[in-house]
Structure 1
């Protein structure tokens, strides 16, 4: 929930509102102030969100993915996260996909699947799960191939 407030010249613009630890007063660059309140699931610090344009604000919660050691010609191998991402909402976005909670998924570093709905995210999970099941079959084939190879 947000509440628009006037921007009186004499009022300090960066004082936190006393209604709770996840609520703060934010100065809007185009004029005025607003009281921002995080959704219960938001883990963002909002350290730099005490001023800005209205649509700059995001709420989110990061989730990590496993680190896989990927070959790198210069360094041998490097740990790279896969299937990491963020539950995200851009509360003031004019894009209806961004103005409700959604998933930004990084299948691998620097590649993003944006604005996944719950159904779209469920489809990705099902595809990954099916692929992991297939990898179990490939693993069994590898074990058998190594036994036969000796």
Structure 2
């Protein structure tokens, strides 16, 4: 029996871009972006080898967070970036990894697929718990009246 599998989620793919890069210590090298890289690399035409990174940002939902001075402000949560630093000596950075911002200005760096899956599982479990709390709130409000 054939099982129909869902189509994989569409991931934007860009044609790999190649450019000539001047190396600060002398010489030059042709750089090529991975197909998934969405960085513009406008200022990456020269520099140190390890200054280069490739990446693709992903947005997170914005939640209205209370602010004493401004009332409520939108705060992005769980935004981040798929990233690779191809010339890094750190093996965690020299392969594609996730930089995740659980909330603005706080970063979980260099998550590999296993670590990122663990974060997703924790968040999913917490959302299940929030569903339970929501049901408790609905019940509490009904009893309160």
Common topology (TM > 0.5): yes
Residue aligned with 2:139, SS: helix
Q: TM-score, normalised by structure 2?
A: 0.89
Residue aligned with 1:47, SS: coil
Specify the alignment match of 2:111 in structure 1: 116
Q: 1:21: how far off?
A: 6.3
Q: Does residue 84 in structure 1 map to residue 106 in structure 2? A: no
Specify the alignment match of 1:11 in structure 2: none
Distance 1:30 1:70 in 2: 47
Distance 2:16 2:144 in 1: 63
Runs of 4+ in structure 1 off by over 6 angstroms are none
Specify the alignment match of 2:124 in structure 1: 129
List alignment gaps of at least 5 residues for structure 1. Answer: 1-19
Alignment size in residue pairs: 131
Q: Does residue 69 in structure 1 map to residue 37 in structure 2? A: no
Q: TM-score, normalised by structure 1?
A: 0.86
Give the one of 53, 58, 64 matched to 1:58.
Answer: 53
Give the greater-gyration-radius structure (CA).
Answer: 1
1:85-127 deviation per Cα after TM superposition (whole angstroms, max 9, x unaligned): 0000000000000000000000000000000000000000000
List alignment gaps of at least 5 residues for structure 2. Answer: 1-14
1:9-54 deviation per Cα after TM superposition (whole angstroms, max 9, x unaligned): xxxxxxxxxxx86000000111110100000110101011011111
